[in-house]
Chain A
């Protein structure tokens, strides 16, 4: 079974609107971390936001928020007030276990296009 599933290969959103990128995960480890990364066309991987499995509140970082639904094993990324510069690939990732030397699993990514 896939550890991370991103079901939206591509999405369009109008500038200034909000958009939700879906991510579901699969693990039996009670301790895990969920991450979102952005990969613009230039190719670098940029960390956006983190949610720990024991965190009670949804993570937020500026215009990014993570909608964490533990029972559903989902960790959707919400981008508010989309900007043209948000056009990029977005990857959801999971670290199983508490420590960063544990392996990360990445989803297949969602390509977001922001229309003016």
Chain B
């Protein structure tokens, strides 16, 4: 059983399109996140949700909108895609409270905007 699953794994799309990436976790965790990994492998947080409530919203263009229908799901919708959005997007989850396991990551979605 995959603990944090993201779909799709690869996404190639044209500039200006709108796309969504889905994320689901079956670990019973309270908190879910989206991270972006750029071409230099740098990981930066975009959003986090705790029990469906947005708690971290970094300086991200408002073309990016997260949606959490329940605490097991956190989807990322991107409007009007730009070349600079090309990256690997990771979903992750964790227990909200103290934990020594940090995040459990999904396998990533490689987005390529052409």
Contacts and interface: CB of A to CB of B under 8 A. Distances in A.
Interface string A29-61: 000010101010001111100101000000000
A106 B43 contact: yes
Chain A: interface size category: 20 to 34
B101 A99 contact: no
A84 interface: no
Contact of A104 (B30, B42, B103, B110): B103
A99 B104 CA distance: 15
A108 B42 contact: yes
Contacts, number: 67
Contact of B42 (A37, A100, A106): A106
B105 A89 contact: no
Contacts of A100: 31, 94-99, 102-103
B20 interface: no
Interface string B44-75: 11001010000110000000000000000000
Interface string B82-106: 0000001010101111111111111
A112 B48 CA distance: 30
Contact of B90 (A33, A45, A46, A93): A45
Interface of B: 30-31, 40-45, 48, 50, 55-56, 88, 90, 92, 94-108, 110
Interface of A: 33, 35, 37, 39, 43-47, 50, 52, 89, 91, 93, 95, 98-101, 103-104, 106, 108-109
Given A101-B31, A103-B48, 14 more contacts: A43-B108, A47-B103, A89-B41, A91-B43, A93-B102, A100-B102, A101-B94, A103-B45, A103-B56, A104-B102, A104-B103, A106-B44, A108-B41, A109-B41
